[in-house]
A and B are shown apart, each in its own frame.
Chain A
C-alpha cells in the first residue's frame, strides 16, 4: 500500500523537477529523524517545509555555530519561537547566521599619482527570517507552508573619469545593487505506521515580491530553481532510526540515529552523509551529531564536515558558472560546528487522562454509608493519553450527600492504557432530612498525582430516602445500628422495671431472661403492618417502630435486634428465601450459654442451635419470630420449627436458601 504511495511521490518529484538546484535539505541541527519528534525538535525548514511540531504550547530555540574558516568565525545562527494551538502550529525564526559573503578580486589596478587602488567587488547573501504554519489533520497526516525572506547585494568598485574646464579627475566609486525576495514552500508528512514517516516538500515553489536586481551581473543572483524533496524516516528497531531525504536534483542525505535512556532523559547519537550535485566529491560530507532531551529541554551539538578541502580563494568562474543555490550549504561553505538549544514551555494544561464514561452501579441508599467505604458506587473508564505511567487520584462529589469532595484510592495506569477506576463515597451523617427520593448530580474527577491535569464528568444519580433499603438482608444491620442510644434507653427502661425478677436468676441465664423480658414488653405493643410504600423497600428505624407501634417483619426484626444489640446481646438476621421470591426475616439471639447448659432453658434440642464464636467457643443461639406477635415462648417455638425444617433438615443453609447475617 505505502509502496504505491512512494511511487506516486517519486513521480511527483519528476514532474516538479523543472531545473537543477543544489542540495537544500542539509540543515545545521544534526539532521535527526523526524520520528524523534517532539523530544528532539527540528528547527529546520530545510528538509521539512511542513515543520509541524507536537510540542504542547510554546517552544523557543537558539542556535550558535562556529565556522571553521580562517580566521574562525562564531555567530548566532538562529533564534526561533513556535506555538501550538490545537491542530495549528505557527513558527518564526530569525536567522542572522544564514549569511554568505564573497569578496571578489577584479585584478584591476588604478594608479593615481603615487597611490595604487585595487578595485574590489563584494557579494552578500542573507536569509533574514522565516515564518511557517502547519495544520495537523490527524495524528498521521499534516500539511504546512513556509515563507522565508532573503536579501542579497552586490557592491562593485568602478572608476569614473570627470572632465571639466578647470580640472580633470579620476574617482573610484562603489556601485551597489540590492535585491530582496520571499520564498514560499509547502510540505506534508504522512505517518502510515508508528515506525514509518514519509514527507514531501517543495523547493522554491513560490518566489514572491522580488525587488531590485543585479542588472548585468544577474549571474551572481541567488538561484531559485524549483524542485522537491522526498523524505523517508523509518524505525526498524525500538531505538534505531533511519532517515533519508532525496531531492529532485539527485542530491540526497541519509543517516541513522540511535537513542537510549540516560540520566532520566533521552540521549541520541546520529550520523548522516550527504551528496550535493554542485559539490565534490560524490559524498560531499558527513554530519555527526549528539542530542540530549530531558523533559522540556533539548540540547544538540552537530558538525558538518566536508570531504573536500575548502580553499579560501577560488576562481570567480566557479561562482559564475554554478551560482549560489543555498546560502548555508554550497561549494564555498566551510566546516562548521553548531550548538542548538530548544526549550519547550507549557503554559497550558495538557490533558493526560480522559474519563471516557462513568457507570453508576446502584442508586445511593444513605443508610448504607459504611458499604460505600468498602464497595464503589460507580466505576469510571479511564484512558491514559500520555506516554508515561500515571498515578491517578479519583474523587467524587454528590450534592446533598457529601460535605466535600471524596477521594478514592489512587490507582496506577500504564501509558495509553484504559482501565476501570472505582469511585467510593462517604455519606454525610446528617441525612435525616432526606424524606423522599431525589435525583442529584454526581461529579467525578480525575487528578494525576504529579500533575494537575485532570478530567471530570457529571452524571445524574438517584438518591433514595433515609428509610430506603436495597432489599439485601445483610444491610438491615445499618438500620439496627442507626440509633443505639434510643434503643439502649428503651431496653434499659424495661430491664430496670424488672430488676427484681432478674436479680434472682442464674447468672448464666441473664442474657436469655433479658431477651425474654424485653421481647414480651416490646411485642405486646406492636402490630403487624405492611410496608407503607409499594414502590420501594422501606425499613423503619428502631425508634420509629417503637413510636408507631408496628411494622412488618423487617421493621420488627430490626427494632428488636437494636434493643438487644444496644445492651450487648448478640443477634443475627436469618434470611429465608423461597422459590416464589417471597422471603422472610427473623432473628437468632446468642444466649451465651454453652451447649452443656442447654437444659437450663429447654429439654428439646430442636429449639436451639450451636454456633462457634470467633474464638472457637461454642454457644447456644435461639431463633425468635417477631411477627408471631405473641409471647416469647411462642415466638421462640415458631422460629425454631421453621429453622429446623428449612435451614437444617431442608439443608437450606447449605443450599443458600437460608442465610444467617451476623450484625457487626
Chain B
C-alpha cells in the first residue's frame, strides 16, 4: 500500500471535471457543493461542477449550459449535475447490479451486535428535518423525471433508484414508481421492469392500481 491521498483526489477530480455555466435563473435556486452540508444561492453566470446538487424552489427554474447544450431544471426539483449525461444501457445494468453488491452478503454473519448500552436520553427526530428529507426526496424524483424528458432515460432510472433507497417515503408514490418502471420497459429491460412491478405490487395499492400492476406483470412475463 504505497498510495497517496493526492493521487486519489486526482482520480476523483477527473470524474467530476465537467462544468456547467448558469445561463438563466428565475426564483430561488440553491446549490449544495460537493459534499458540503450547507446550501448556497445560485446566481446567473456561476460555474457549477459535476458533483454539485441543484435545488429549485417553488416557481423557480434554472437554465444550465455545457458545451453548447442547454438543460433546464424546472421548479420543485433537485438534481446532481453529474447525472446530466448519456450513459449506456450496459452501464445502467451495472449500476442496477450495484444495488445488490452494496448489500451485506446474506451468507455472512451480521457482525458483532452485542452492544446493548444506551447513552443519553431519547430525543425525538427533528420535525423540520423530517419535512426537509421528504421534500428533498420528492424534488429529486422531479429532477429525475426531467432527465428522462431530456432523453437521459438511463441516468433518470439510476437517480430514481438511488432516491427511492435514500428517501424511503418516495417509494410509496405509485405514479412515480410506474413512471420509472415504464422507462425500464422502454429500454426493453424486461427482467428489471418485471422486478420493479413486482416491487410495486407490494405497496399499499388501490384496487385499480393492483389490477394495473397485475396486468403489467402478466404482459411483461409474456414478452419475456
Residues of A within 8 A of B (CB): 499, 502-508, 510, 513-514, 530-531, 552-554, 565, 567-572, 576, 578, 582-585, 590, 594-600, 602-615, 618, 625, 627-628, 637-638, 640-642, 644-646, 648-651, 653-655, 660, 662-664
Q: How far is the CA of A641 from the CA of B15 in the complex (A)?
A: 11
> Quick check: B108 and A654 within 8 Å, CB to CB?
no
Looking at the complex, which one of B35, B98, B119 makes contact with A641 (CB distance below 8 Å)?
A: B35
Instruction: Report yes or no: A596 in contact with B98, Cβ–Cβ below 8 A.
Output: no
Residue of chain B at shortest CB distance from A603? B37
A641 adjacent to B115 (CB under 8 Å)? no
Contact of B59 with A by CB under 8 A: no
Q: How far is the CA of A663 from the CA of B168 in the complex (A)?
A: 27
Assess the A646–B12 pair: CB atoms within 8 A.
yes
Q: Would you call A553 and B111 a contact (CB within 8 A)?
A: no
Q: Quick one: which of A570, A599, A644 contacts B130, CB cutoff 8 A?
A: A599
CB-based nearest B residue for A570:
B111
Q: Chain A contacts of B8 at CB under 8 A?
A: 576, 584, 642
Contact A618–B165 (Cβ < 8 Å): yes
A608→B132 CA distance, assembly (Å): 17
| Given A506-B123, A642-B8, A662-B105, 6 additional A-B pairs, CB 8 A | A502-B119, A569-B115, A606-B80, A645-B12, A654-B94, A664-B110
Residue of A504, A576, A610 touching B165 (CB-CB under 8 A): A610
Question: How many of chain B's residues have a CB under 8 angstroms from any CB in A?
Answer: 59
B16 CB, nearest partner CB in chain A, Å: 6
Total A-B pairs, Cβ < 8 A: 179
**Bound complex: CA A258 to CA B121 (Å):** 91
From B122, which residue of chain A is reached at the shortest CB distance? A507
B3 and A614 within 8 A (CB): no
B114 at interface, CB cutoff 8 A: yes
Q: Are A600 and B91 in contact (CB under 8 A)?
A: no
Kindly list chain A residues whose C-beta atoms are within 8 Å of the C-beta of B114: 568
Would you call B166 an interface residue if the criterion is a C-beta within 8 Å of the partner chain's C-beta atoms?
Answer: yes
Say whether B106 contacts A651, CB under 8 Å.
no
Judge whether B41 is part of the interface by a CB distance below 8 angstroms: no
Q: Closest B residue to A576 by CB, please name it.
A: B8
Interface residues of B in 91-111 (CB under 8 A from A): 91, 94-95, 97-98, 101-106, 108-111
Flag if B1 contacts A552 (CB, 8 Å). yes
Contacts of A645 in B (CB 8 A): 11-12, 15-16, 51
Q: Which residues of A contact B69 (CB under 8 A)?
A: none
With A638-B5, A660-B102 already in contact, the answer to whether A507 and B118 are too (CB < 8 A) is: yes
Could you tell me the distance between the alpha carbons of A584 and B136 in the complex, rounded to whole angstroms? 33
Q: Which residues of A have CB within 8 Å of B125?
A: 506, 508, 597, 600
Chain A residues within an 8 Å CB radius of B101: 653-654, 660
Contact A599 B102, CB 8 Å, known A507-B118, A582-B2, A663-B111? no
Q: In this assembly, does B45 line the interface, its C-beta being within 8 Å of a C-beta of chain A?
A: no
Asked if B126 contacts A642 (CB within 8 A), the reply is no
> Using Cβ atoms and an 8 Å threshold, which residues of chain A touch B38?
603
Which DSSP category, helix, strand, loop or mixed, fits chain B's interface?
loop
Nearest residue, chain A, Cβ from B112: A568
Instruction: List, in ascending order, chain B residues with CB within 8 A of A651's CB.
Output: 91, 94-95, 98
Contact of B5 among A499, A600, A609, A627 (CB under 8 A): A627
Are B1 and A584 neighbours in the complex by a CB distance under 8 Å? yes
Cβ–Cβ < 8 Å partners of A569 in chain B: 115
Q: Which residues of the partner chain A approach B189 to less than 8 Å between Cβ atoms? A: none
Chain B residues with CB under 8 A of A508? 125
Cα–Cα, bound, A456→B106 (Å): 41
- B7 at the binding interface (Cβ < 8 Å): yes
Report how far A176 CA is from B110 CA in the complex, Å: 103
Q: Does B204 contact A (CB under 8 A)?
A: no
Q: Which of B1-55 contact A (CB under 8 A)?
A: 1-3, 5, 7-8, 11-12, 15-16, 32, 34-39, 51, 53
Q: Which of the listed residues A513, A650, A651 has the most CB atoms from chain B within 10 Å of its own CB?
A: A651
Q: Check if B95 sits within 8 Å of A654, measured CB to CB.
A: yes
Question: Judging by beta carbons under 8 Å apart, are B102 and A568 in contact?
Answer: no
Q: Which residues of B contact A503 (CB under 8 A)?
A: 119-121
The CA of A490 and the CA of B126, in the complex, are separated in Å by 33
**Structural contact, B168 and A604, CB atoms closer than 8 A:** no
Whether B104 contacts A582 by the Cβ 8 Å rule is: no
Q: Are A653 and B98 in contact (CB under 8 A)?
A: yes
Lowest 7 CB-CB distances: which A-B pairs, in order? A568-B115, A654-B94, A570-B111, A599-B129, A502-B119, A612-B103, A506-B123
Q: With A552-B1, A599-B129, A599-B133 in contact, do A604 and B35 touch (Cβ < 8 Å)?
A: yes
- Cα(A499)–Cα(B117), bound, Å: 12
8 A–B contacts from the bound complex (CB under 8 Å): A506-B120, A583-B1, A605-B136, A611-B104, A628-B5, A654-B101, A663-B111, A664-B111
Check: B113 CB closer than 8 A to any chain A CB. Answer: yes
Q: Once the chains bind, are A510 and B119 in contact (CB under 8 Å)?
A: yes
**Do B111 and A598 have beta carbons less than 8 Å apart?**
no
